[in-house]
Amino acid sequence: MDKTLGFRELGLAPYEPTWQAMKRFTDKRNPSALDEVWLLQHPAVFTQGQAGKAEHLLNAGEIPVIQVDRGGQVTYHGPGQLIAYLLLDVRRLGLGVRELVSRMEQSLVGLLASYGVESYAKPDAPGVYVNGAKIASLGLRIRNGRSFHGLALNVDMDLAPFRRINPCGYAGLAMTQLRDHAGPIEFAEVTQRLREQLVSRLGYADQITLEKS
């Protein structure tokens, strides 16, 4: 097994074409294909997971809503939020879904700790929290032993759209972001630190940067 994790940094990318590209990658990859993580931001969009309930979408307004095939309820994506889509052969890695989610959460906790921010995961509500407020959301889909979708970390963004929904299905859930706890930060530096955390926590030996697809 190749223990190298490939990263593609896609910049600001529209949601729907990226989602379709993830599905194509997952369906067409062969057993020896390199695992990849796509790092990006999305223009403002609400996404509703497979179990999503309409009552959790309070007032979408001009922001589009897309029904998607990940787990979980409704969430918001927008500029200033770091997204990592994990396109992994989970079966080859020997990880169960719960273990993969735990390692994703550990990666985020480790990243935040590197900025002096204490955070934690909740066993009954996937994601990462700081003082009761959610700073990162997780949502995955596993198909034929392969994962897609991933995590979203609030770095330096407009949090107001979260008030138009019950984030992840929780009415009144407070949202927060890294800037509010660590002061001014470089988005590129946060991205690099997340790369290092994912390589380490997921058990890879090395990483490479891949061209934009």
pLDDT (tens digit, 9 = 90+) per residue, 127-155?
Answer: 999 999 999 999 999 999 999 999 999 99
Q: What is the CATH number of the domain that holds 115?
A: 3.30.930.10
Q: For position 204, what pLDDT does the model report?
A: 96
The domain of 26 spans: 4-210
Q: For position 2, what pLDDT does the model report?
A: 66
Percent of the chain with pLDDT strictly greater than 90: 86
83, 109, 157, 168: the catalytic one is 168
- For the question of whether the overall pTM of this predicted structure is more than 0.75, the answer is yes
d(CA 64, CA 60): 7
Q: For position 213, what pLDDT does the model report?
A: 67
Nearest to 41 by CA among 73, 61, 15: 15
Q: For position 1, what pLDDT does the model report?
A: 47
What long-range pairs does 114-122 form, CB within 8 A, spacing at least 24? 114/193, 115/178, 115/181, 115/182, 115/185, 116/182, 117/178, 117/181, 117/182
d(CA 5, CA 205): 8
Going through the chain in order, the beta strands assigned E by DSSP cover 4-12, 35-41, 45-48, 65-67, 74-77, 81-87, 120-122, 125-130, 133-143, 146-154, 206-210
Q: For position 155, what pLDDT does the model report?
A: 98
Q: Which residues are annotated as a binding site for substrate?
A: 70-77, 137-139, 150-152
Q: For position 71, what pLDDT does the model report?
A: 81
**In the annotation, is 168 catalytic?**
yes
Report which DSSP code applies to 171.
T
Name the domain count of the chain: 1
Structural contact between residues 179 and 155, judged by C-beta atoms closer than 8 angstroms: yes
Q: What is the mean predicted confidence (pLDDT) over 78-102?
A: 96
Q: Which residues are annotated as a binding site?
A: 70-77, 137-139, 150-152
Percent of the chain with pLDDT strictly greater than 70: 99
Write out pLDDT tens, residues 152-211.
999 999 999 999 999 888 888 999 999 999 999 999 999 999 999 999 999 999 999 999
